[in-house]
Structure 1
Amino acid sequence: MAKKNLLIIGAGGVANVVAHKCAQHNDRLGDIHIASRNIQRCESIIDSINRKQNLKQPGLLKAHAIDALDTNALITLINELGVSMVLNLGSAFVNQSVLHACIETGVAYLDTAIHEDPAKVCETPPWYANYEWKSKQACEAKGVTAILGAGFDPGVVNAYARLAADTLFDSLESIDILDVNAGSHGKYFATNFDPEINFREFTGQVWTWQNREWVSNQMFEVKLTRDFPVVGEQSLYLTGHDEIHSISQNLDVPNVRFWMGFGEHYINVFTVLKNLGLLSEQPVPTAEGQTVVPLKVVKAVLPDPSSLAPEYTGKTCIGDLIKGTKDGEPKEVFIYNICDHAENYAEVESQAISYTAGVPAAAAALLIADGTWDVGRMVNVEELPAEPFLKTLAELGLSTRIQDAEGDRALFA
């Protein structure tokens, strides 16, 4: 039976994109509710949707105030609204409370990033086993669909891996996820998503899956330079990331690594902040007797990532470089997407970092709504059929291309 009516948790850049895209398909998704601690930000998203005339047909768009760490309040709100799915696009710190509210109420759950404990950085892998996967049995017992990491990375890159395993290779040797932002926001220094989450990713150990075991490196220790389609030659660094922790366990691949592009300026500023102790998540006393968390202070003084969108120019390139064998011969493919910051802003008033994370969540919501991905259990994206997801993404504005020995061409155009 089709699921309709949804609740979006969060009101940042990704939530804005998801709300726009869901509004464009409200004939299939029904009522759209947006909830955050800051109801004004929810109302701003609704204003943006109306300004861009992105509501496909007349329908309900409503803002709500909620503390997403309050599971009981979430349960009450879900029951009052009568929604059938919750799209969790809030801080990574609220995943567990939102997930448990969905299990309790029996509604579908979806997120775009892994849960984090504010007091811990870079926990022992595989990260999903520390939190989300502990609720697998509860989801199955209640028949709750819970799709983890349905953004771009994690999310679309997981689907690329699944597509390769199913249709392009007989066996996989390595998956290297490559994430490049060749755009410019014009600020002295800023992060493209929540600064607190951004810095936490890069201050701990870099965990990757190599030769079927976890290997630890330091951030900016291992560098890769590669020529990319459209955006040209870029420098990337080996980085820990969510999707490594599920793909390594769910697909039989000996090597899964994540590489992110960084400019020298970002690395220099990051290094100074880290060496000064300003990226620490641990509270420190000031001379005035106050207690502050340095990382939260840095977040407070940096530009809000959503404020970068109007002036952002350039493109992103994110994809999977996959190696393995087919018919006894070695094979290599690069499956990827190119996104344009200015084009994305013109459509939904968000930049490409938010767009690439938000469009997949809306696509996943559509697949839950029509039953294709309504599996009644907890899954990561690579456990689901990739083709319907990638076809839906193409319809929503994220195309997939493949580069291999036969050339460069579109998939599911």
Structure 2
Amino acid sequence: MGKVLIIGAGGVGTVVVKKCAQLPEVFTDIMLASRTLSKVERIAQDTEKRFGVKIKTAQVDADNVQALVQLFNSFQPDLVINVALPYQDLPIMDACLEYGVHYLDTANYEPKEEAKFEYSWQWAYQDRFKQKGLMALLGCGFDPGATQAFTAHAAKHHFDEIHYLDIVDCNAGDHGKAFATNFNPEINIREITQKGKYWEGGQWIEIEPMSIHKPIDYPGIGPKESYLLFHEELESLVKHFPTIKRARFWMTFGQAYITHLQVLQNVGMTRIDPVRFQGQDIIPLEFLKAVLPAPDELGENYTGETSIGCQIKGIKDGKDKTYFVWNNCSHEAAYKETGAQGVSYTTGVPAMIGAALMLKGIWMKPGVYNVEQLDPDPFMDMMNKHGLPWHEKTGVDLPHEYPN
């Protein structure tokens, strides 16, 4: 079907390469590129050993548009999958426009100097991609990504109007480390230390970081303390489903994690502004990232599972209806298949699925799109076939306060 270039050699990149390698009829030629060639080559060798598929490799600076265009000219991809850092979304999109190739990512752009998550920068590319006949698919991981497909599936098959949406994300795994983050530490810590916010009554309501929390019961796991955060798919979902009265995002954190994070914040280690040290400027959070375990090193002894889903209340045929759709993913099973832990797996598999649907022409139209704007059925069908089976319940008693 097409040649795919994957940029980024972390845990998610590892999963994307290995899932693409298992579909050679769709991904006819695969290249993996990153700033660090040794990481890329290690993943490529492991992929060939596991699946017998040869992966091309390249070194590239994803901040450098001309270096990217040069690489595109050499490999001539039909699709670029960006699983690098969110700061690099715009340079990669610029390079895709200049060369003329479709684009997919798993996380929205944010400027390096400010922990600010919003789609405005990428939505602004709509006309340029449309005019070039190119497609950009934004946020095609799990959350964002699969959670938006879940919501679109609910809207298509279960509701006339969605009124209340709670995205609930639990990682009940244990990696045995005192403190480690399941995806890029820099991005993870920036995300949870900024102010939280949720959508209600047609506006965003801002709260202090981690100030609203409560136990939520997760399937097969049980009650886990869950914290209200802002997450990027909320911005997109309330735009594309205007009947939503309230939308919130909840994520679990253990007490030890919270304590470590509070101490690091108190001593200034989560700062993203430069600090002068021994004659040079360093960013404390970037230094912290360097000393913490890398997410792609956590998989080997990781036990337990993740549970991510959407709890929805709305109207069907004039009556109130509740609906819950979710996936549970085993860290051990993910590691056995790909050599990566479950959080990387749940992000990487949807990226492969979105890419496959684009290359097959099922999800292909010029412009910039979020996942919920596309037909959820083929995506959810592929989730069941490629390692992320989903489950659903209707008429469930949801553990949230819903106004009458």
Q: TM-score under structure 2 normalisation?
A: 0.96
In 2 relative to 1, CA 145–232 (structure 1 residues): closer, same or farther, beyond 3 Å?
same
1:10-409 pair list within 5 angstroms: 10-53=8-51, 55=53, 60-122=54-116, 127-129=118-120, 131-252=121-242, 253-286=244-277, 288-405=278-395
Distance in 2 between the 1:282 and 1:406 partners?
46
Report the secondary structure of 2:51's partner residue: coil
> What is the identity, as a one-letter code, of the residue corresponding to 1:280?
R
Following TM superposition, by how much is the alpha carbon of 1:404 offset from its aligned partner in structure 2, in angstroms?
2.3
Following TM superposition, by how much is the alpha carbon of 1:122 offset from its aligned partner in structure 2, in angstroms?
2.7
Report the secondary structure of 2:25's partner residue: helix
Report the secondary structure of 2:2's partner residue: coil
> What is the identity, as a one-letter code, of the residue corresponding to 2:269?
L
Q: Higher mean Cα deviation, 345-354 or 323-332?
A: 323-332
Distance in 2 between the 1:350 and 1:210 partners?
37
Distance in 2 between the 1:307 and 1:31 partners?
27
Following TM superposition, by how much is the alpha carbon of 1:403 offset from its aligned partner in structure 2, in angstroms?
2.0
The runs of 4+ residues in structure 1 deviating greater than 6 Å are none
Distance in 1 between the 2:263 and 2:363 partners?
45
Structure 1 gaps of 5+ residues are 408-413
Distance in 2 between the 1:310 and 1:54 partners?
22
> What is the identity, as a one-letter code, of the residue corresponding to 1:22?
C
Count of residues paired in the alignment: 396
Distance in 2 between the 1:296 and 1:178 partners?
29
CA contact (8 A) 2:324 2:396 kept: no
Following TM superposition, by how much is the alpha carbon of 1:290 offset from its aligned partner in structure 2, in angstroms?
2.7
Distance in 2 between the 1:70 and 1:300 partners?
23
CA contact (8 A) 2:210 2:228 kept: yes
> What is the identity, as a one-letter code, of the residue corresponding to 2:34?
S
Identity %: 39
> What is the identity, as a one-letter code, of the residue corresponding to 1:152?
F
Distance in 2 between the 1:326 and 1:251 partners?
15
Distance in 2 between the 1:406 and 1:13 partners?
35
Report the secondary structure of 1:102's partner residue: helix
Distance in 2 between the 1:47 and 1:313 partners?
26
Deviations along 1:181-210, whole A, 9 cap, x unmatched? 000000111000110000110121112211
> What is the identity, as a one-letter code, of the residue corresponding to 2:197?
W
CA contact (8 A) 1:83 1:107 kept: yes
Following TM superposition, by how much is the alpha carbon of 1:54 offset from its aligned partner in structure 2, in angstroms?
5.7
CA contact (8 A) 1:113 1:151 kept: yes
Report the secondary structure of 2:124's partner residue: helix
Deviations along 1:161-193, whole A, 9 cap, x unmatched? 111111101111111110000000001110001
Following TM superposition, by how much is the alpha carbon of 1:406 offset from its aligned partner in structure 2, in angstroms?
7.7
Distance in 2 between the 1:234 and 1:211 partners?
28
Distance in 2 between the 1:115 and 1:406 partners?
36
Deviations along 1:126-166, whole A, 9 cap, x unmatched? x101x101111101111111000000000000001111111
* Alignment RMSD (CA, Å): 1.3
Deviations along 1:304-362, whole A, 9 cap, x unmatched? 11110001000100000111111121111110000000011000101100000000000
In 2 relative to 1, CA 255–282 (structure 1 residues): closer, same or farther, beyond 3 Å?
same
CA contact (8 A) 2:21 2:51 kept: no
Following TM superposition, by how much is the alpha carbon of 1:104 offset from its aligned partner in structure 2, in angstroms?
1.6
Distance in 2 between the 1:167 and 1:271 partners?
43
Partner of 1:411: none
Structure 2 gaps of 5+ residues are 398-404
